[in-house]
Chains A and B, each alone.
Chain A
Amino acid sequence: MAAASNSAVKPAKKVCLFCCAETEALAQRIAAESDAIELRSIKWRTFDDGFPNLFIPNAHGIRGQHVAFLASFSSPAVIFEQLSVIYALPKLFISSFTLVLPFFPTGTSERMEDEGDVATAFTLARILSNIPTSKGGPTSLVTFDIHALQERFYFGDNILPCFESGIPLLKNRLQQLPDSDKISIAFPDDGAWKRFHKQLQHFPTIVCNKVRMGDQRIVRIKEGDAAGRHVVIVDDLVQSGGTLIECQKVLAAHGAAKISAYVTHGIFPKRSWQRFEHDNGGHPEKGLTYFWITDSCPHTVKEVKSKLPFEILSLSGSIAAALQI
C-alpha cells in the first residue's frame, strides 16, 4: 500500500504514432513495445501531376493527444509529402508533437570547404526547424547517431533535437556472444572514435586512419592490437562500404581472429551491401562474422534481412522509450 503512494513511476503517456509507407514495419514494432503507443494511419495518394494528395483520417480524434510521426527521408523525392504531414499535424490541437527521424540524411556530405559548397544538411535542418509549434511547444526531433557532431547546432530554437544512439543495442548484442571477452572495437577513423569511444570504453580499442601515399589513401592501424581478437568495426553509417573493407583487410593482416562490423545506418546506395560476404567460419579477410545495422534505413533492411552476415538490431525499443520523454 505504502509502496504505491511512494512510487515515483509516472504513468506512460499515450502516444498516437503516424508513419510513412516505408516506415510501417518499424512503426508496428514500436507500437508492439508499449500499450501506450497506438498506430494511426494517413491516406497517402498522389494527384496525376505527381503532387501529394494527403488526408489524415479522424483528425478530430487526435486533439489533446501526444502525437508522433516516424519519418524516413531515404531520397529527396519522398521529403515533400512527409513534410506536408509534419507541418500539418502540430496545428491540429494536439498536446505535443515528436518527429522521429532515425536517420538524418545528407549528413555525410558536409565538407564545406569552399564558399560555393551548398550545405544540404543545413537545408534539411532549417526545414525541420520551421515545423510549427503545437500546444505542447516546440517539436521534439528524435534522431540516431547524427553524422557530424556540429550538426546539432544547425537546429533553431523552435525545435528540440534529441540525439540518440544505436550503440546500446550493439553493446547488448556483443554481451550475448560466446567470445564476448575477446572483443575489441575498431574505429575506422578519428571521427568515429570521437563519436563513439565514450560509449564503448570498457572494450579494448583499435583506431585506424587513412594515410596518403602518393595518389592513394591507405588505411593503417594507428593504435591498438588486433591479434587473436574478435574485432568489431564501429561507425555511424556505411555508403559504398569501401572504408569498411579497407579496415577489414588491415585488421586481418594484423592477425584478427574474427572481424565484424556495426553501423547504425546501412545506407548502401546501389546495393553496395553485396560486397559484404559471410566468413562462414573461415578467414576474416574473406568475410565478416556479423554485420549489424539498425532498421533506420528501411529499404536496406528489406534487402538484407535474411542474408548473412547481416543482422538487424531494431531501434523500436529505443524509440518507444524516447517517445516517453
Chain B
Amino acid sequence: MQHDDVIWDIIGNQQFCSFKVKTKSQGFCRNEYNITGLCNRSSCPLANSQYATIREEKGQCFLYMKVIERAAFPAKMWEKVKLSKNYEKALEQIDENLIYWPRFIRHKCKQRFTKITQYLIRMRKLVLKRQRKLVPLSRKVERREKRKEEKALIAAQLDNAIEKELLERLKQGTYGDIYNFPVHAFDRALEQQDEESEEEEEEEEEEEEEDEEDVGKREFVEEEVEESDLSDFEDMNKLRTSSDEEQDDEEEESSEEEEEEMEVEMKAKALRSKGKSPANGSVARKKRAYVEIEYEQETEPATKSRATS
C-alpha cells in the first residue's frame, strides 16, 4: 500500500533519505526523477504516488509519468513519452498528457522543459564558437624536457657562437666600410685564415702601406708636411713620437687612429641610436663591454595548460 504521508514522514523529516543533500539554507534532492531538484513534500518522487518529470537524453526530451496503479510494478512504473522538438508542440503535448493532473506538477514540468530546451540551445551555439581544448602536461615529461633544455643550452655556447658568427660576417665584408681596422691586424688575420676577400684586403693593404711609406719618407721635410696635409694629425703625432722603427710608428698610429675613429663612431652612434640604448651610455660600453647573464630558478608545477584552437 502506498502511504505517501507515512513515507514522507520517514524520509523527509525524521530519518534518512539517501537522495537528500542538506545545506545550511535548503535541502536538495538528488533523485533523477525529481522535477525541481529541491527536497520538498510536493517534489519528492518517492513520497508522491502520482508524479511527472521531464528528462533529457542526448538532446531529446521525454515526459515521464508515474501513477499509483503501477506502484506495484517497479519495472513499469514510469511511463515515457517522447516530446516533439518543436517547443510549442511539446508544450501542448505536456498539457495533453497531464490534463487532469495537479496544477503544481503541470507547471513545474513546463518550467523544467523550458529550462532544458534553453540549455540545449546554448550547447549547440557553443559548439560553433571557439572551443578551448585543455592539453594536459605530464610532469615527468616536463621535467625531462627542462633538463634536456639545460643541457642543450650548455652545449650551445650561445655567446661564442654569436661572436663567431659576427666575426665571420665582418670578415666576409657584409658590413662594408663601417668598421675600419688597420693593416697590421689584417695581415695577421690573413695569415691565419684564407678568406675569399683576400684580394680586396691585399689591395687595401698595399694602398695603406704605400701611404705609410710615403709618410715615412716625408719625415725629412717637416715644414712641407705641416702646410700641405690637413688630415695628418696622425702624421704629426707620428713624427713627434719616434722615428726609429716603422713598426712602432705604425702601431701607435694605428692604435691612435683606431681610438679616434672609435670615439667618433661611438659619439655618432650615441647620437643616432634612440630608444633602447642601455643606461650606461656609450662611454661605459667603450671602456668595457660586458655580457649580462641573469640566472633565475623557476619552478613550474605544471599540470594543465590551455591551448586555443
A binds B: no
Q: Which of A's residues lie within 8 Å of B, judged by CB?
A: none
